[in-house]
Amino acid sequence: MAHSTITSSSLDQNEDPNCAGQQQPYSTITSSSSSLDQQKNDDPGCAGQHPPVSPISLDKGDPMIFEEYWERMGDKCDLRIGGGDLMSYLSNPGGVCWFLLPQLEESIRRIHSLVGNAATQGRYIVVGTGSSQLVQTVLYALSSDSPHPLSVVCAPPYYSCYPELAGILKSELYKWEGDAHTFNKDGPFLELVTSPNNPDGSIRGPVVRPRAGGHVMYDLAYYWPQFTPITHQADHDIMIFTFSKSVGHAGSRIGWAIVKNKEIAIKMVKLIEVLSIGVSKEAQLRATKILGAICDGYEGSLAMPESDKFFDYFRRIMAERWNKLREVVKKNQVFSLPEYQQEQCLFSEGLAGTHPGFAWLKCEKGESKDDAEGFLKGYGIQARGGHKFGVDGSFVRVSMMSRENTFKAFLERLSAIEAGRDSTYKMDVA
């Protein structure tokens, strides 16, 4: 029977187009030399390439930090798909989300049970082509029967793509209204709450006073142990998660929503049905395999050594990266970083720190204080400025989820910045 084989090492490694020397100190498992050669070819920020120096892109949240780990899993995550497999539109004809593979639903519930970060019992699971599509389905579900446009708000700094998601269709059903703190219009509204927040990593709740016609959607893309302590089991009306940031597989384009209200879930499913008649089964099957491999690493006879278990492994890597970044920031005295308190983590059963997927830098000194994005660009670092997040230009977001050699290049370039010298010490950027 004809078939295709999907393996970790055969994935497309291109950068995520969303608007939004390898070192392995954390495990005894090693990467293949071909993978390292590919990383060196892909990465423009390797040491020794300047002058002139090519810019390194830390603007997007492309989670390539996870790549090495999944390459090392080998055939544990391989899939064999026969030529006659997965052909029907239907996956679960009797379910609310009729295109959701039952085995993926089981894996989603299993991993949330393992981590303890979200309640799923008695809830509806809706799968989407990434979490961005699911945000659109929420907007539609909450506005489609309303006699008045749905106002969409979020407290800044907010995820930079929210205004575009709410405004790109120029829909009369909903409208981006900006800052939740200053919102005072009558009528229905949806407050978007990202927690931990993108870009600054803070834990958040809604700020608009509850009232009739008001809704809150929680974007919990980063509520996973590698980024933040799991302090409670989230149990909200609408919660959005993504395969991209939870486990690193952005290219699979899988997200899921956990929804309390059946009618809202049905409307979300309806929009996906109209737009794409479901979600790729191949991508769903891959997500099932990956989520299952993570859970197996913690449970039963397939449990892995503590150092190689997925969440523990990446919690160490993120902590290491944040420690190095804080050392550099402290020395150059040009930028500041948010401070995070350790908290009791239900998953690790002990105190744990916060190590967000993005660094929210604030430029404190120098002539480029009001344009932190442009300032970093002068040192060959492409980042995303504060204006895109609803705040002033002294802030800039930098991804902490790049490959190791890109992260090392970032630290080297950031180290070259000295207080009071930003007008004279600039790299020759190609």
Report DSSP letters for 271-294, one per residue: HHHHHHSS--HHHHHHHHHHHHHH
pTM comes to 0.86
Residue 84 domain flag? no
Residue 79 domain flag? no
**Which pLDDT belongs to residue 17?**
42
Q: What is the pLDDT of residues 184-205, one digit of tens each?
A: 999 999 999 999 999 999 999 9
- Domain with 186 in it: 89-298
Q: In angstroms, rounded to a whole number, what is the distance separating the alpha carbons of residues 268 and 262?
A: 10
Residue that terminates a domain, selected from 236, 269, 298: 298
Residue 304 domain flag? no
CATH number, domain with residue 260: 3.40.640.10
**Which pLDDT belongs to residue 426?**
58
Give Cα 334 distance to the centre of its chain.
27
Residue that terminates a domain, selected from 275, 298, 321: 298
Confidence at 267, pLDDT banded by 50, 70, 90? very high
Confidence at 340, pLDDT banded by 50, 70, 90? very high
CATH number, domain with residue 62: 3.90.1150.10
Phi, psi of 271 (to 5 degrees): -65, -40
Same domain? 272 vs 349: no
Q: What SS3 state is found at 38?
A: helix
Cβ-count burial of 112 within 10 angstroms (0-12 exposed, 13-18 middle, 19+ buried)?
buried
Instruction: Pick the closest to residue 354 from 245, 206, 203 (CA basis).
Output: 203
Residue 248 Rama label (left phi>0; alpha psi -120 to 50; beta): left
Same domain? 265 vs 325: no
Same domain? 277 vs 353: no
The number of folded domains in the chain is 2
Over the range 277-297, which residues count as b (16 or more CB within 10 Å of their CB) and which as e? ebbbbebbbbbbbbbbbbbeb
Q: What SS3 state is found at 164?
A: helix
**Which pLDDT belongs to residue 300?**
76
Same domain? 37 vs 61: yes
Q: What is the pLDDT of residues 355-383, one digit of tens each?
A: 999 999 999 987 778 999 999 999 999 99
Same domain? 290 vs 253: yes
Same domain? 270 vs 335: no
Same domain? 285 vs 142: yes
Same domain? 293 vs 360: no
